[in-house]
Structure 1
């Protein structure tokens, strides 16, 4: 009998320092298959979140790559954000429970370009304590 195919999973985020919420996110996503994490570029973080990340993109990539449940950490594209999805051809895209940036048109884009790719929304892990963006409220 041939070995079963392990799914390729793609996840996205800023990951400006890795906290237990991120570790739980990686753990949940890795249970779905081999996990590749796309790290938002510094310019993308600035454009989307209107702030500079605490850690530069290379540091954030290294922090994520060091996680035992992450097979590969790569930097996102500076142009078309969907190009990395075409390059990686994931079986599953794992989204955080509150992830909305660049996801509004994801289902329709996948239907046209990679119709067999599934989107899975992961469960929150103590969002009142570990939601990174809460650090920047009233700053």
Structure 2
């Protein structure tokens, strides 16, 4: 039986932290589905710079990813209902509360495990593992 895993996020300006998250998620199952947040649904941080389809296409090209899709325009649970995963893996620093998410899933009739990916420390001095930090560094180097 195939163990289906879902990971989700914004995935703006891909970096090694994103790849670590997705590899960690893939290791928790056999098939990895990734849901990429639509720009208009990102409310907990600044809106992504890159267009929705570009972010989806970049995530789809990564080795750990079996399927990549954009999130639903209005209801974040619709793709999860369609995929019917065995586990949803949150990034180590994502703002979601595991228990609250699990309860919301159960209310929708979705019975799956909620796990959290491990953190990844920089592999060398100067490695950047944050989209915000990449943007800040581009501005520092190119805009001053």
Smaller-chain TM-score range?
0.7 to 0.9
Equivalent residue for 1:14? Answer: 10
8 Å CA contact retained: 2:90, 2:116? yes
8 Å CA contact retained: 2:14, 2:131? no
Say whether residues 1:42 and 2:39 are aligned partners. Answer: yes
Structure 1 stretches of 5 or more lacking a match? none
SS at match of 1:130: coil
Structure 1 residue 44, shift from structure 2 partner: 1.4
Say whether residues 1:67 and 2:62 are aligned partners. Answer: yes
**In 2, distance between residues paired with 1:77 and 1:102?**
20
Which moved further from structure 2: 81-90 or 56-65? Answer: 81-90
CA RMSD of aligned residues (A): 2.2
TM-score between the two structures when normalised by the length of structure 2: 0.80
Equivalent residue for 2:105? Answer: 110
**In 1, distance between residues paired with 2:73 and 2:98?**
16
Structure 2 stretches of 5 or more lacking a match? 140-144
Residue by residue over 1:3-53, the C-alpha shift from the partner in whole angstroms, topping out at 9 and shown as x without a partner, is xx12100011000121111111111111112100000101112x332x332
